[in-house]
């Protein structure tokens, strides 16, 4: 959307396809930024900042299953209203089977997000106990 004004992102709405897709694009760009930033040592100042970064990533991962459920729920409602066609691929001409398989794959992805969340929590339990040594005015740690 570079040529258009960015839609407002208010939790209370109003909601629109443009705002929803804009937000999804921003999520991808934020992750891309973090990937680039954290290649550089100066992106973080001490272990507590690395811990804060990880806690925020954990929060995002915790929220993914709800997003997946609601996204597929929208598709299911559109299918129930007769507004879904399958124009190619494995389920061509069979939207009912496509939507059913989409729900199965959503459940699989949500389960994998839970596994990722558990692994990240395990990392946080270690990272939360790390600290930078105190340094004196001369930088020697004494």
**Does any domain span residue 132?**
no
Confidence of residue 85 (pLDDT cuts 50, 70, 90): very high
Total domains in the fold of the chain = 2
Taking the C-alpha atoms of residue 106 and residue 102, their distance in angstroms, rounded to an integer, is: 6
138 pLDDT tier (thresholds 50, 70, 90)? low
Residue 115 and residue 66 in contact, taking contact as beta carbons nearer than 8 Å: no
Whether 50 and 17 share a structural domain: no
* Residue range of the domain that includes 12: 7-43
Q: Is the pLDDT of residue 70 over 80?
A: yes
pTM: 0.84
Same domain, 122 and 72: yes
The reply to whether 67 and 99 lie within a common domain is: yes
């Amino acid at each position: 959307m570079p040529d258009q004004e960015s839609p407002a992102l208010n939790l209370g709405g109003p909601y629109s396809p443009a705002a929803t897709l804009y937000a999804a694009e921003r999520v991808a760009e934020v992750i891309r930024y973090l990937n680039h930033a954290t290649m550089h040592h100066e992106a973080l100042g001490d272990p507590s900042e690395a811990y804060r970064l990880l806690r925020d990533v954990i929060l995002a991962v915790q929220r993914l299953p709800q997003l997946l459920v609601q996204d597929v729920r929208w598709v299911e409602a559109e299918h129930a209203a007769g507004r879904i066609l399958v124009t190619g691929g494995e389920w061509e001409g069979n939207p009912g089977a496509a939507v059913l398989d989409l729900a199965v794959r959503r459940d699989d992805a949500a389960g994998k997000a839970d596994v990722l969340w558990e692994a990240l929590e395990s990392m946080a339990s270690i990272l939360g106990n790390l600290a930078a040594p105190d340094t004196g005015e001369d930088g020697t740690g004494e």
